[in-house]
Chain A
Amino acid sequence: MDFISILSIFVLACFVGYYVVWSVTPALHTPLMAVTNAISSVIIVGALIAAAASGAGAAGGTSKWLGLLAVVLASVNIFGGFAVTQRMLAMYRKKAPAGAQK
């Protein structure tokens, strides 16, 4: 992909982000932060590439270990982020119909 097509994706995604985020209800702003946190860990893609590369020489070896460490950090974030979001969202419930509430 050339730079301009990448830039196009980026600019359009910023607009999508703008409209999607404004439609998020303020009550869910904390889960929003938690889930954006989890998805920004898609940076794990870069970490996996680094960790999988056959490192030639010292620099390559270091690069591989940095990649592996980044994989650990990013996956803490992915699993932790989605799990904590799930936990929070499960707590939001509507008013129970009269009588059903204990």
Chain B
Amino acid sequence: MEHTTAVNPWVALAYLIAGVCFILALRGLSSPATSQRGNRMGMIGMAIAVVTTLVTHVPVNRMGLVLTGPEGEVLTAGSFVASIDTLAVVEILAAILVGAVIGIVTARRIAMTAMPQLVAAFHSLVGLAAVLVACAAFLNPVAFGIADVVTPLIGPPFATIHPVSRIEMILGVAIGAITFSGSVIAFLKLNGNMGGKPILLPQRHAINLGVALAIVWFAFGFWMSQSPFDFWMVTILSFAIGFLLIVPIGGADMPVVVSMLNSYSGWAAAAMGFTLHNSAMIITGALVGSSGAILSYIMCRAMNRSFLSVIAGGFGASAEPGGAAAASDRPWKRGSAEDAAFLMQQAEQVIIVPGYGMAVAQAQHVLREMGDKLKEHGVRVKYAIHPVAGRMPGHMNVLLAEANVPYDEVFELEDINSEFAQTDVAFVIGANDVTNPAAKTDKSSPIYGMPVLDVERAKTVLFIKRSMGGVGYAGVDNDVFYRDNTMMLLADAKKMVEEIVKNLD
């Protein structure tokens, strides 16, 4: 009955080793000091997996031959190896080479501020690759060892895919397709080709539910009958639902979306691993799947919102008018670059709070320059990172690392929040909602309960913002602007910091 390709124990062992290498790769990321070694383990694991597959699946020319038994049943797989198919070998190596060149060139050229888009784009590729592999397996199941060839009394022989493999395959194609179309939308939003504002279709929950039920229905049909129609319907509808799910989600919720798609790309790989009985793929899929799920959880917790409410979308679309109206009529203080430079020079400790605005303005390098200047004046400089600052988990950390800020000056929210009370200057650059004290006090605020950085506890808050009109993503006014100890620095983040640096000499 079991018709899988003969499993050579050495081959299985090689895939297992590859899987272990991937575990070690993630393990290495527990500290920056071991992380590069971890990444190399990942490369080794991948090399083992790829070489093993290449060696065990050399393309060959087969001579057709069907040996039938006395009752017409097929005794052998129907062909034997005649020679190595050199053309196919060249094609495969060329395909790898083309991919390698594109990948490496992209990785070298990409700006660090564009990392969220790049990751979304890479996710879409994994999703599409999963769909293609599932389709290939569906069209040629015998090659994947997941089907029995049945020769009926009348008509040509045909392959019946094992029922378990059908489920695994349809799962793989569905998750892959959702990953692909969802990531494409996420990419377009992050890259600015599509507005960051949530796009709300009428009746979207009903539509999504309908499409999801249809997918389940056709998947069930495929399991029962192996019908091509059901297979393609699942594929098409999954592409559609990936699109529908991500379109209504706003820009600042992208950290959750990107993590979620990361998770999906893992589950897609795991489903294909089940189909192919390949331990490397299953281990990787499980690792990546749980990694993405944990990251989504961390991001949701950092916003005090449930995963479902983020996925339901629409946050920040309706709250805007109220917040903006209240903004104009309260007194606030405006500062200049000279004031800021003077205040920080006198300070003992300055905590810098970067947000997405810093990434947009590309201000990280000049910010580090400012930090260096301050250190020359004997000021202690620290950086405070909110988990959802930026557009993906760890976004701010990468940008600061790019600007050569040592990672031991960069702190997470829970490690530094108690220090604001003993800090002379909190310097907020391009962040807003993550500093809003309303999250602690105002039960009616949409961000109530979200952990925030207590910048208002510092002696002075310097708040860089482009203008007083706009509100943060959540559409709520920030009380910090109007406090006695706050000085608003209204300008483009990069220009303002450059000015401050000039004034620090």
Contacts and interface: CB of A to CB of B under 8 A. Distances in A.
29 contacts: A6-B279, A13-B286, A21-B295, A27-B410, A28-B397, A29-B298, A30-B394, A33-B291, A35-B25, A36-B288, A37-B265, A43-B269, A43-B281, A44-B50, A48-B53, A51-B92, A55-B143, A56-B64, A56-B140, A60-B139, A66-B136, A75-B99, A77-B129, A79-B107, A80-B106, A80-B107, A82-B46, A84-B118, A101-B372
Contacts, number: 399
Contacts of B18: 42
Given A51-B88, A96-B406, A37 B119 contact: yes
B102 A80 contact: yes
A21 B32 contact: no
Given A21-B26, A44-B129, 14 more contacts: A13-B19, A27-B32, A44-B49, A46-B137, A48-B54, A51-B59, A52-B88, A60-B139, A72-B99, A75-B96, A75-B103, A82-B39, A84-B110, A87-B108
Interface residues of A, number: 86
Nearest to A42: B284
Interface in B87-124: 88, 91-92, 95-96, 98-100, 102-104, 106-108, 110, 112, 115, 118-119, 122-123
A50 B283 CA distance: 21
Contact of A76 (B26, B57, B102, B279): B102
Contacts of B15: 45
Interface stretch (B190-198, B270-278, B338-346, B418-426): B270-278
Given A13-B283, A76-B99, A87-B108, A29 B410 contact: no
Interface residues of B, number: 124
A53 B258 CA distance: 34
Contacts of B140: 50, 53, 55-56, 59-60, 63-64
Interface of A: 1-3, 6, 9-11, 13-14, 16-18, 20-56, 59-60, 62-64, 66-96, 101
Q: Determine chain A's interface SS by DSSP, over half rule.
A: helix
A39 B46 contact: yes
B119 A33 contact: yes
A66 B139 contact: yes
Contacts of B46: 38-39, 41-42, 78, 82
Contacts of B289: 14, 17
A44 B284 CA distance: 12
Nearest to B16: A9
A44 B52 CA distance: 12
B127 to A, nearest CB: 9
Nearest to B277: A1
Contact of A49 (B32, B57, B118): B57
A37 B126 CA distance: 8
B141 to A, nearest CB: 9
B133 interface: yes
Interface in B1-52: 2, 4, 7, 12, 15, 18-19, 22-23, 25-27, 29-33, 35-36, 38-39, 42-43, 45-46, 49-50
